[in-house]
Structure 1
Amino acid sequence: MNNYAVFLRGINVGGINIKMADLKAALKSRPFSGVQTLLASGNVVLASELDPAGVKKEFEACLRETFGYDAWVVVLTADRVAALVEACPYPADDGATHSYVTLSSDEAVLAELFEAGVALDGTDLTRLGPDALAWLAPVGGTLESPFSKLSSKAKYKAATTTRNLRTMVKVRDAATKL
């Protein structure tokens, strides 16, 4: 049995509203155990005998069939989430900046986003591996930051999802305790 974190893209924004209790109930019919939802923003931890690709396939099918939501999710092992949190060079709590981790299961899209991001003036960006990059935004200015505007473009939105580093720490802690 492996412990996983599943990060949903675009849930509870833009008209796609799913109650976490309903999501948890729907996932009970799938080959998952220990399902927990975190922070009502599309973060789920669970255990499964499936590999990451199998978890992704089952999870996305569940969302489509139950909620009519053409979902896109990133599935990481609990160990990978822990490694990303550890590798992030930015602080989880800082008075002047927020630290973010952008996740993707499409390495080519993430590489393209990273290259476009490093070309932006004043963007502090670090590649954490084939599935993640970390970046900073000023407190109160995340949505207006150049990298946030870049990463929200349609060509990246469908293949990436971003979490605050504090959220990643909470997901790591929950996933490792399953």
Structure 2
Amino acid sequence: MARYLALLGSINVGGNRLSMADLRDALEREEFEGVETVVASGNVLFDHEDRPAEGLAEKIAWIVADRFDIRSAVVVLDRAALAAAIAENPFSGVGEDKFVHTHFLTCQPTEAQFAALMADHAGRGGEKLASGTRALHIDFGDGVAGSKLTGAFMDKRLGCSGTARNMRSLRRILAKMEGADGA
């Protein structure tokens, strides 16, 4: 069994209310083991037979849509991929952890799509952006609340959906994963 992290987008925001206990129960019924949620915002640790992350993400997205009628972007990472995403973020350790995010994507946008996002974002706000591996790294500077750099704005230009987490949350989740597998 391998340990994974599923990041679900749009959970417990915008009317998509979902009890983490109900989510855990639904996943356990579908052969996910050791299911544990971290905060009530769609962060799920679980054990599963070793499989490609994309297949697991599709399975979880189907379960959430089927059981709860919620369409959610789902990204699945193993411990190494999560650690790599944290290390890859050029703003990590530079900006405040609560304002530095990684927007995990369901696909890898092209360089042209990243360039279009950068061009369309120019003049909209003070956020700093950097492309990554199936991710967009963002330093929101003074905060996320007033930003015009929304998920919908990014998803439209990048050609795929995603879900963001700040560095503080990602480090907390990584520590839980490392504690679980002894790494």
The two structures have a TM-score, normalised by structure 2, of 0.81
1:105 aligned partner? 106
Distance 2:65 2:97 in 1: 40
Distance 2:97 2:171 in 1: 19
The Cα of 1:30 is off from its aligned counterpart by: 1.5
Q: Which runs of 5+ in 1 are unaligned?
A: none
Q: Secondary structure at the match of 1:108?
A: coil
Matches within 5 A, 1:21-36: 21-36=21-36
Matches within 5 A, 1:47-62: 47-49=47-49, 50-62=51-63
1:18 equivalent in alignment to 2:22: no
Contact 1:26 1:66 in 2 (8 A): yes
Distance 1:88 1:173 in 2: 17
1:163 aligned partner? 165
1:65 equivalent in alignment to 2:69: no
The two structures have a TM-score, normalised by structure 1, of 0.83
Q: Partner amino acid for 2:88?
A: A
1:127 equivalent in alignment to 2:128: no
Q: Tell me the matched-pair count.
A: 173
Distance 1:57 1:81 in 2: 18
- Shift in CA distance, 8/28, structure 1 to aligned 2, threshold 3 Å: same
User: Considering only aligned residues, what root-mean-square deviation do their CA atoms show, in Å?
Assistant: 2.6
Q: Partner amino acid for 1:6?
A: A
Distance 1:69 1:110 in 2: 31
- Which runs of structure 1 show a deviation greater than 3 angstroms over 4 or more consecutive aligned residues? 91-97
Q: Secondary structure at the match of 1:18?
A: coil
